[in-house]
Amino acid sequence: MTPKMNEESFYRHIYHALMQYAGASPAEAFHFAYAHLNDSYLQEWRFQGKLGFGGKYWRERNEISCYKEDETPERLKIIEETNAKLKEIANQHGKKF
């Protein structure tokens, strides 16, 4: 697998987890992978989903978060579970964050 294909696979897996665990829209999957593969300055991706308008994926940390004022016990659990899955995906792809 070429490095570019490995990167594409990584970001597709990441977005699938965002959809499955945090309610990200399937309509944005292609754009998410494309942006992460082609924009080296991209730092965050606002996916919203179950975390409200502030639901973001942070590229450099491979984590999600939401606005502090939008945190609820349910949303904090979503963040915790999703971040655990994102870490697992990173490990499977040999990524260190």
Residue 39 lies in a domain: yes
pLDDT of residue 65: 98
Q: For every one of its 97 residues, what pLDDT tens digit does the chain have, with 9 covering 90 and above?
A: 566 668 999 999 999 999 999 999 999 999 999 999 999 999 999 999 999 999 999 999 999 999 999 999 999 999 999 999 999 999 999 999 8
Neighbour tally for 42: CB within 10 Å: 13
In a domain, 97, yes or no: no
In a domain, 34, yes or no: yes
Domain extent, residue 56, equals 3-92
Number of structural domains, the chain?
A: 1
Give the pLDDT of residue 8.
Answer: 93
DSSP 70: G
Q: Is residue 48 a contact partner of residue 42, using CB atoms and an 8 Å limit?
A: no
Q: How far is Cα 90 from Cα 34, in angstroms, rounded to an integer?
A: 18
Per-residue model confidence (pLDDT) at position 67: 97
Residue 4's pLDDT is: 60
Q: Is 15 exposed, middle or buried (0-12, 13-18, 19+ CB in 10 A)?
A: buried
Distance separating alpha carbons of residues 69 and 80, to the nearest angstrom: 17
Q: Is residue 65 part of a domain?
A: yes
Residue 49 in domain:
yes
User: Could you tell me the pTM of the whole model?
Assistant: 0.93
Q: What is the pLDDT of residue 3?
A: 60
> Does residue 17 lie in a domain region?
yes
